[in-house]
Structure 1
């Protein structure tokens, strides 16, 4: 598969997964967490799909497309560990998280997901969902939408 085809497969999985999860958390109280802003495409999609929920965003730097800049009070700039601890200290509760961190080196990405998982867990409401491009630990892995291959994206329910 070409890298371009792989990218299309990833983007389609992201869209389908986020749409599925946004629908699935309809009855849950809680905010949304975007882990990795990048240029803001996913944040923009979350904003459109979940317009009545507060969306917290964590990233090392703020450099999205100008139309995708989150409100200053919802953007936490810095290392994910410290920012997740800050959200926990505030008492933030998350119904839907999208994990989109990655270095592009599989072993490094898997290790970071495993390291950050215990910091994400205390934020999640019971039954909350995590849509992730990386494998995470400590959550119940579930099947996402039928349109997403099991190896392309990961779906988790918080205990």
Structure 2
């Protein structure tokens, strides 16, 4: 598979997974969290499909497309663990989280996701959904939507 085809497959799985997760949390109170703003595509999609939810964003730097800059109050700039701990200490509960951190080296990415799993769990509302490009630990793994190849995107319930 070409890298272009792989990227398209990943983006499709990400979009379909987020749409599925948004439907799963309908009627459940809580905020949304995008971990890894990057260019802002996922954040833009989340605010479009969940217009009545607060969407928090965590990233080390703000370098997204100008149309995707989150409100200053919702952008937590810095390392993820302290930002997640801040959300927890302020009493915010996340009902849908998207985990998209990574170095691009599979072994490092898997290790980081595993290490961050407990702090992610600490901000999740009971029954909340985590959509992740990396395997997390300590969550109930869900099947997710039909049509996404196994392992392409992962779905968890807190």
Q: Normalized against structure 2, the TM-score is what? A: 0.99
The CA distance in 2 between the partners of 1:114 and 1:151, in whole Å, is 16
Deviation at 1:87, TM superposition (A): 0.7
Task: Please show how residues 120-159 of structure 1 align to structure 2 within 5 Å.
Answer: 120-158=120-158
Deviation at 1:147, TM superposition (A): 1.4
User: Number of matched residues?
Assistant: 158
Deviation at 1:149, TM superposition (A): 1.1
The CA distance in 1 between the partners of 2:69 and 2:89, in whole Å, is 24
Secondary structure at 2:43 match in 1: helix
Matching residue of 2:116: 116
Render the CA deviation track for 1:88-133: whole Å, top value 9, x for unaligned. 1111100000001111100000001001110010111111000000
Matching residue of 1:70: 70
Secondary structure at 1:10 match in 2: helix
The CA distance in 1 between the partners of 2:137 and 2:27, in whole Å, is 25
The CA distance in 2 between the partners of 1:51 and 1:133, in whole Å, is 23
Matching residue of 2:54: 54
Matching residue of 1:23: 23
Secondary structure at 1:101 match in 2: coil
Matching residue of 2:42: 42
Please, which runs of 5 or more residues in structure 1 have no aligned partner? Answer: none
Secondary structure at 1:52 match in 2: coil
Deviation at 1:150, TM superposition (A): 1.6
The CA distance in 1 between the partners of 2:65 and 2:138, in whole Å, is 33
Which runs of 4 or more aligned residues in structure 1 lie more than 2 Å from their structure 2 counterparts after TM superposition? none
Deviation at 1:59, TM superposition (A): 0.2
The CA distance in 2 between the partners of 1:30 and 1:56, in whole Å, is 11
State yes or no: 1:13 paired with 2:13: yes
Please, which runs of 5 or more residues in structure 2 have no aligned partner? Answer: none
Task: Please show how residues 96-115 of structure 1 align to structure 2 within 5 Å.
Answer: 96-115=96-115
Q: CA RMSD in A?
A: 0.5
